[in-house]
Amino acid sequence: MGTLISWTRNDYNQPGELPKPKRIPDNVFMTPDKPASPPAAFTPRGRAFDPRLLEGPIPRSLFLLAVPIMGGNILQIAYQLVDAFWVGRLGAAAVAAVSVSMPMMFLMMSIGMGFTIAGSTLIAQYVGAGNRGMVDHVAGQTMLTVVAVSLALGLFGFVVAPYLLQLMEVAPEVYRGALGFLRVQFLSLPLAFAYFCFQSQMRGVGQVTVPLYLIAASVFINFILDPIFIFWLGWGVMGAALATMVSQFVSAVAAIALLSSGRFGIQLKIRELRPDFAFILRAFNLGYPAAIEGSARGLGVTVMMFLITSFGTVTTAAYGVGGNVLQFVVIPAMGFSMATSTLVGQNIGAGNVPRAEAVARLAALITFGALSAFGLFALAFANHIAAFFVPHDKAVIHEASVFIRTVSWSFGFIGVQFALMGVLRASGNMFAAMVISMVSQWMLTFPLAFVLSHRAHMGAHGIWWAFPVANVITAVISAVWFSRGDWKKRRIIETPREAEEEDVNEQVMV
């Protein structure tokens, strides 16, 4: 059996095989600075791995993770909401400048999150298998890879930003603000990626409250700096991006410090940051479909923006307002999906597939009900919601409220889709999740938007209707794929039960 990977010899012999976990026969929930002892001797505070996630009532385990993750993700969108609130006071051109930049940044973030998904999946399964050594190793290699990728993407984006805006035929009154905002955002990518990596790793080990506190502090800093940078210093739209950059810097530094401390289930050590190319290659083979999925989704949003900008500044600003509302749906749905992925991954790593399946079904039911209720609220108060973001532009308020009313009834189906795709990723079935996402974006949403807006002569309203139709169909596809059960057969690490069977076989052979 293999042990923790050395730097001089990394021999993963079988194609697609990831390093097998080191066995910890006595206590699988031990902390690095304490001797092995029964799991019951530990209290929730300071514990590396939380055994409550692998046993007991499933609703309790799910909400232990879901509530802090959803809170953290809601706070995460507060970056954009705070910016939107202050930038909205500058007028429609300023709002459009931020709206134009959002799809490109979503594309960049999607690429980074695609790489972190493979790491968090492996971490969750190694936690379930009780292998602390491989948890630390995966964390170090993931952080190294993600930061390196973000540096390359940030420099590339800074250079090509003006050409992208020209390609999108952005209106002259929007161009200058969009360029400044976009370039600062590209330079901030390493900071954002470092925090996302920290968040996903904490999620993998089940420590979800720490990122919540960190992002709350960061949003508070952004809220204080935004009016100073935008109005007092007179930096306008670019000031909003600079305020976000400063707050992200604080988050990234704090995240690295917490990982290095080893207090929360992962210890980021210098030796774990030395490139292990054999492991990186194997993890890449696991995670590249997630990166392609995120990139395709982000590119689809960018292409959609090309279509939207052709209808003018009012439609573009309305889409920006509606996009902020959609974030209140997508980000909580992603939060519940992440909680589901952690629980499913840890239970698969522990060899408890029936419990993993029960988690998935409950998560899909909860997200459908909760987001459907929010959809009814958005439907009833669409005008008020739109006016919150752009209080002085009646044309934008009207068009944004039409968008919100058109899409809101399908919010529950977004929840089902995200919950079930989280199960596929947690089991290592990244390819299936990639296919579903690409079908949703490239075979449903964008083609429908183009046909309805241009061929059916529905204009911007045709674009709005493409979203709910695609949401329903994608949810159905996800449910069918989940029901087939292929995700249960995928193995990316050796479970404790499999290790025990191999021990028995070895003893019989001797």
| Joined tokens for residue 436 | 């579903």
Q: What is the pLDDT of residue 18?
A: 44
What are the phi and psi torsion angles at 204 (to 5°)? Answer: -60, -35
**Residue 247 and residue 214 in contact, taking contact as beta carbons nearer than 8 Å:** no
In the block, residue with structure tokens 């929840």? 415
In this prediction the pTM is: 0.72
Residue 157, amino acid:
G
CA dist 91 and 66 (Å) reads 37
Q: What is the pLDDT of residue 104?
A: 78
Residue 229 has what DSSP assignment?
I
Contacts of 39 (CB under 8 A, 6+ apart): 27, 28, 29, 51
Number of H helices, E strands in the chain: 17, 0
In the block, residue with structure tokens 């400044």? 180
User: What does the domain layout of the chain look like in residue ranges?
Assistant: 59-509
Contacts of 202 (CB under 8 A, 6+ apart): 208, 210, 211, 264, 265, 266
Please state, in angstroms and as integers, the Cα–Cα distance from residue 407 to each residue in 180, 307, 374, 413, following that order. 31, 18, 12, 11
Q: What is the pLDDT of residue 373?
A: 94
**Residue 120 and residue 421 in contact, taking contact as beta carbons nearer than 8 Å:** no
Contacts of 244 (CB under 8 A, 6+ apart): 79, 83, 184, 185, 188, 222
Q: What is the pLDDT of residue 418?
A: 92
**Residue 188 and residue 244 in contact, taking contact as beta carbons nearer than 8 Å:** yes
**Residue 332 and residue 411 in contact, taking contact as beta carbons nearer than 8 Å:** no
Number of residues that this document lists for the chain = 510
Contacts of 195 (CB under 8 A, 6+ apart): 214, 215, 248, 251, 252, 255
Positive or negative torsion for Cα 408, 384, 73, 464: positive
Instruction: Give the DSSP H or E segment for 177.
Output: helix 172-187
**Residue 278 and residue 10 in contact, taking contact as beta carbons nearer than 8 Å:** yes
CA dist 310 and 123 (Å) reads 44
Positive or negative torsion for Cα 258, 263, 266, 267: positive
**Residue 200 and residue 117 in contact, taking contact as beta carbons nearer than 8 Å:** yes
Q: What SS3 class is residue 360?
A: helix
Q: What SS3 class is residue 132?
A: helix
**Residue 191 and residue 109 in contact, taking contact as beta carbons nearer than 8 Å:** no
**What average pLDDT values come out for the chain (510 residues) when binned by 10 residues?**
36 40 36 34 44 77 83 75 82 83 76 78 84 86 88 92 85 86 92 90 87 90 92 88 92 92 84 83 80 77 83 88 84 83 87 88 92 93 89 88 93 93 87 89 91 88 93 94 84 58 43
Residue 37 has what DSSP assignment?
-
Q: What SS3 class is residue 46?
A: coil
3-state helix, strand and coil shares in percent for the chain, rounded to the nearest 5:
80, 0, 20
Task: List b or e across 473-509, with b for residues whose CB sees 16 or more CB atoms inside 10 angstroms.
Answer: bbbebbeebbeeeebeeeebbbbbeebeeeeeeeeee
Identify the CA nearest to 333 among candidates 381, 372, 293, 299. Answer: 372
Q: What is the pLDDT of residue 46?
A: 41
CA dist 250 and 225 (Å) reads 13
